[in-house]
Structure 1
């Protein structure tokens, strides 16, 4: 069920665009940052960051969405990524809203602003009926972002067979 790839509408401070190979330096920096990736098994290598870009480009083609590069509208400066990806949790596939914001730009509401725009895009453009966020139990800042974007704690779950996670969800 491939859809035309359309990015979310800009917000007052942020703009979205498809991830490109030219974003490798920025994506490798954010995905390799131990602070940004502290709730992942480990930071990603540059090759893994390239794989992340490839994965999102494949999602754009196959699903009509993925994680997008987020930039400041005022300057075009790279903020991070945010978007919508299919994720399987305990045998059920849902659309997840995910987000990464540069460590030096965290705490300014960018993740919430981007996640809320992606939630609205999922509902209004893609027709998604249920949205989830898969969050490490200790990642309180990400849990707050999910809550501020309208998702509520649903349950604890096992992700990818081993990871204990919290599922936040919303009916759209």
Structure 2
């Protein structure tokens, strides 16, 4: 049994590992799933993504974690906290990628809300951010559902992004 970092009603989050590559490719290599952010990943790029997160676990004590549906112990994506450069400041940011057949079932919201709580209660961050392209309405809705509010617009990777944030209650 792999160590659970966060547990919710329907999910648990654990550290990603290289043997998650094939499952994580179901979202990171899917053009539809990646339409708002990066280009679809090759298998090598997914492995590098996992390695980057493993390094983040050592450096920051967090990163994107594997999202596992408790029922059936099914890998459904990643969600977590990474350090991102937003407006020339390195800040904690909640991000997620959910395999499309598991989208629109509240899993991203449930995982992201648990990560927000973890950021404030365990990591003691005073603020948490989220950003996505202005076209990515689904991610903006998740951010609002977990209590993030509009912060500002930025330009990143040549596209207008919306930044949302919350402060520790």
- TM-score, normalised relative to structure 1: 0.93
Q: Which moved more, 1:7-16 or 1:133-142?
A: 7-16
* SS of residue paired to 1:42: coil
* SS of residue paired to 1:144: helix
The 5 Å alignment of 1:125-144 reads 125-144=122-141
- Which residue of structure 1 lines up, in the alignment, with residue 63 of structure 2? 66
- Which residue of structure 1 lines up, in the alignment, with residue 91 of structure 2? 94
Gaps of 5+ in 2: none
Q: Distance in 2 between matches of 1:88 and 1:168?
A: 14
Shift of 1:156: 0.5
Q: Distance in 1 between matches of 2:40 and 2:70?
A: 28
Counterpart of 1:165 (choices 146, 161, 165) is 161
* SS of residue paired to 2:66: strand
Gaps of 5+ in 1: 1-5
Q: Which moved more, 1:109-118 or 1:36-45?
A: 36-45
CA, structure 1 residues 7+125, in 2 after alignment: closer, same or farther (shift >3 Å)?
Answer: farther
CA, structure 1 residues 128+7, in 2 after alignment: closer, same or farther (shift >3 Å)?
Answer: farther
Paired residues, number: 166
Checking the alignment, whether the CA contact within 8 Å between 1:28 and 1:50 is kept in structure 2 is no
Q: Distance in 2 between matches of 1:150 and 1:41?
A: 25
Task: After the TM superposition, list the runs of 4 or more consecutive aligned residues in structure 1 that deviate by more than 3 angstroms.
Answer: none
Q: Distance in 2 between matches of 1:15 and 1:125?
A: 16
Shift of 1:41: 3.8
- Which residue of structure 2 lines up, in the alignment, with residue 3 of structure 1? none
Counterpart of 1:45 (choices 38, 42, 48) is 42
Shift of 1:74: 1.6
Shift of 1:89: 1.6
Shift of 1:124: 0.4
Counterpart of 1:33 (choices 11, 30, 33) is 30
Shift of 1:154: 1.2
Shift of 1:7: 5.7
Shift of 1:9: 2.6
